[in-house]
Amino acid sequence: MAGATSALQSKRPLGKATRDAFGRALEALGAERPDVVVVDADVSNSTRTEWFGQKFPDRFFNIGIAESNLVGIAGGLASCGKTPVIASFACFIMCNGYDQLRMAVAYPGLNVKVVGTHAGISIGEDGASQMGIEDVALACSLPGFVVVVPADEASAKAATRAMLDHRGPVYMRLGRPDVPKVYETDNPPFRLGQANTVRDGRDLTIVANGLMVAAALDAADQLAAEGIEARVLDMHTVKPIDREALKKAAQETGAIVVAEEHLAHGGLGSVVAMAVAELEPVPIRYVNLGDRFGESGSPEGLLEKFGLTAENLAAAARAVIAAK
Amino acid sequence: MRRKTPETATVARDLEQLQQIAKRLRVDILRSTTEAGSGHPSSSLSAVEVVTALYFGGFLRYDPKNPHWPDRDRFILSKGHAAPVLYAALAEAGFFPREDLMTLRKLGSPLEGHPNMARLGGVEASTGSLGQGLSIGVGQALAARIDRKDYRVYVLTGDGEIGEGQIWEAAASAAKYRLDNLTCIVDRNHYQQTGAAEEVLNMDPIDGKFTAFGWHTITINGNDLGEVVQALRRATEYRGQPTCIVSLTHKGQGILPLLEKLGDTNFHGKPLPAKYLDEALALLG
């Protein structure tokens, strides 16, 4: 697709990476939340929990490259009234720590905050082994977990506070690169489980999260030039999904495109499809990574190769409208 | 100054009384698993002396009337399949009525096949997926340190269980933070599911491995209450390192002649058929 606009190449102003916003927010919240304890598996300069660690060394533990132990320790801390925040690359904390997340966190329903950074293919050159592309599906499969995928800097900051304020286990997915700003304000509305309508329209709805929200807004601009008015929902919370917003979208726009930087199976697309099929069946199309691993390359080049572009989203929108 | 044990906790007068309690726990393990028709009595029987000493030898400070008392000591049964010994101890300590033991593994009972902390007060970790309890114990011991509290954490693992790599991740991290408020007891009962532990995966020397990981270690006859009490006292008083007690035991301790007669001294994951229950109880004296 020559000249395609990858999700990172929006004309919207570039903001900081969601991991950076999380790191600063966590550091800022540390003082008012003495219950917060951060445990690291030796990647704090990547996940940005090091900023909290520098400020609150008595509540920061680097336990080495051992994600299973990381999660278990968090369960122990939470069972004693702490609010542990554990962060690693999305693929490592979810895949390596999964049984521990199931047994030591989800099953007892403990108040552990799990943060997976470097999610998706937009990490670029490091390649498939470092790319968390299944993390949302895994997190959604943990009973009782809230699953959050913020779109940009401002919403990642808001999501960090919401995550800490929520009582119970939360998984928050963050990215590595600087991403376009979805919100102009530094304090966008953010309520867990409640989608933000970032653009209104009546011809179809694009439901997106993470860096695909900015791409959805770009796609909506392209569609508007053709006279198609797309509604764009920032579905930052995958679980619990905002059923009301989806029902309204289906009823009022009659067609849905779901966009995410994740495998087809078990992510936002699956969750939206389940809800829409039950509440108000309408045609749906999907823009995601399909059923394949990523590879090395530039983030922009990869996003284009895998079809995570505004143009591809616009094409899916035209297709779903045709299917109405 | 170490806080005192609450008056609501049961503390035995002497070794003889502890032995009487140990016997009651064995009776309860056998009765409850036979009633349930499933479960792990042999893996529970090997750990009776350790659990008895912890709960009734004055080591664990708990309040059965207030199971979530924040300053309590914690006992984590990492070998969760030995739940019947934990439940027997909790009943003896007064966390719930003894007759509830007969609801083991039944629909609606909080006494599930493996411990579930969300449903039963006194259970300090939900276990059953092996290898995870020590990490949880490290987290609890760190929480005590952050809050400058003097509660202690005891974790009981199986000997087959230490084949799980997470045990060694946890062991290394406990040594890094010099968690002398943490004690790991390895129930070295010599058997795991399909056979002898040293044949399935030889982890000997267990004490040597923990020593190499930076732990203080003690090896004892774990079916001798006197030795268990002494080892726990040493572990509790030891400073600067976590302590690992390698507790040499017999799987099925207390009913070994019967298991020999039945031709299965491992007896893994089997309840005693009801027709052998009287014979087994007679062996306990």
For B224-276, what is each residue's pLDDT tens digit? 999 999 999 999 999 999 999 999 999 999 999 999 999 999 999 999 999 99
Rounded distance between C-alpha atoms, residue B240 and residue B37, angstroms: 45
The active-site residue, picked from A67, A300, A304, A311, is A67
CB contact under 8 A, B117 and A102: no
Do A198 and A213 contact (CB within 8 A), yes or no? yes
Structure tokens at A75: 């369960």
- Is B193 in the A-facing interface, judged by CB distances under 8 Å? no
pLDDT on residue A55: 98
Q: b/e string for A241-251 if b means 16 or more Cβ within 10 A?
A: bbbebbebbbe
Which residues of A are less than 8 Å from B165 in CB distance? 68
Query: Is 80 exceeded by the pLDDT of residue B222?
Result: yes
Q: Which of B112, B152, B155 is nearest to B135 (CA)?
A: B155
CA distance B38 to chain A (A): 22
What pLDDT shows up at residue A1? Answer: 46
End-to-end CA, chain B: 41
**What residue ranges define each of the domains in chain B, with the CATH number in brackets?**
15-283 (3.40.50.970)
Please report the domains of chain A, with CATH numbers, ordered by start residue: 18-173 (3.40.50.970), 196-318 (3.40.50.920)
Beta carbon pairs, A and B, within 8 Å: 109
Q: How far apart are the CA of A265 and the nearest CA of chain B, in angstroms?
A: 27
CB contacts, 8 Å: A37 with chain B: 142-143, 146
Q: Quick one: how far is CA A172 from the chain centroid?
A: 7
Low-confidence ranges of chain A (pLDDT < 70): 1-3
CB-CB neighbors (< 8 A) of A88 in chain B: none
**H-run or E-run covering A285:** strand A284-287
Nearest CA to CA, how far is B74 from chain A (Å)? Answer: 10
User: Is A300 a catalytic site residue?
Assistant: no
Residues from chain B that touch A58, judged by Cβ atoms under 8 A, are: 146
Sheet holding B153-158, edge to edge: B74-77, B153-158, B182-188, B243-248, B216-221
Q: What are the tokens at B84?
A: 């019947």
Is residue B248 classed as helix, strand or coil in its secondary structure?
Answer: strand
The Cα A81–Cα A36 span in angstroms is 10
pLDDT tens readout for residues B60-69: 999 999 999 9
Nearest to A103 among B132, B170, B176 (CB): B132
Q: Is A59 in contact with B142 (Cβ distance < 8 A)?
A: no
In whole angstroms, what separates CA B60 from the centre of its chain? Answer: 12
Using pLDDT thresholds of 50, 70 and 90, give the confidence band for residue B2.
low
Contact B156, B185 (CB under 8 A): yes
A285 touches chain B (CB under 8 A): no
Please tell me the distance from the alpha carbon of residue B116 to that of residue B124, in angstroms, as a whole number. Answer: 9
DSSP letter for each residue of A34-75: TTEEEEESS-HHHHSTHHHHHH-GGGEEE--S-HHHHHHHHH
Q: Residue B4: pLDDT band by 50, 70, 90 thresholds?
A: confident
Q: What is the ipTM of this complex?
A: 0.96
Q: Do residues B227 and B15 lie in contact, with contact meaning Cβ atoms separated by under 8 Å? A: no
Band (pLDDT 50/70/90 cuts) for residue B5 is confident
Hey, are the CB atoms on B118 and A109 less than 8 Å from each other? yes
- The answer to whether A208 and A271 have CB atoms below 8 angstroms apart is no
Say whether B139 and A75 touch across the interface (CB within 8 A). Answer: yes
The mean of the pLDDT values for chain B is: 96
Q: Sort out which chain B residues have CB atoms less than 8 A from A80's CB and list them.
A: 70, 139-140, 143-144, 147
C-alpha span between A136 and A28 (Å, rounded): 27
Question: Encoding tokens for residue A104?
Answer: 């030591």
Query: Quick one: pLDDT at residue B103?
Result: 98
Taking the C-alpha atoms of residue A90 and residue A175, their distance in angstroms, rounded to an integer, is 9
A13 φ, ψ (degrees, to nearest 5): -60, 140
pLDDT band at B108 (very low <50, low <70, confident <90, very high): very high
pLDDT given at position A4: 86
Per the rule left: phi > 0, alpha: psi between -120 and 50, beta: everything else, B63 is beta
Check CB contact of B173 with chain A, cutoff 8 Å.
Answer: yes
Residues linked to residue B243 through DSSP beta bridges, in sequence order? B183, B216
Task: Report angle CA A262, A223, A240 to the nearest 5 degrees.
Answer: 35
Q: Residues 48..67 of A with a Cβ closer than 8 Å to B: which?
A: 58-59, 61, 63-64, 66
Q: Answer whether residue B1 shows pLDDT above 60.
A: no
Euclidean distance between CA atoms A37 and B126, whole angstroms = 21
Give the DSSP per-residue string, A129-148.
Answer: GG-BSSHHHHHHTSTT-EEE
Give pLDDT, residue A3: 66
Q: Tell whether B169 lies on the interface with A, counting CB pairs under 8 A.
A: yes
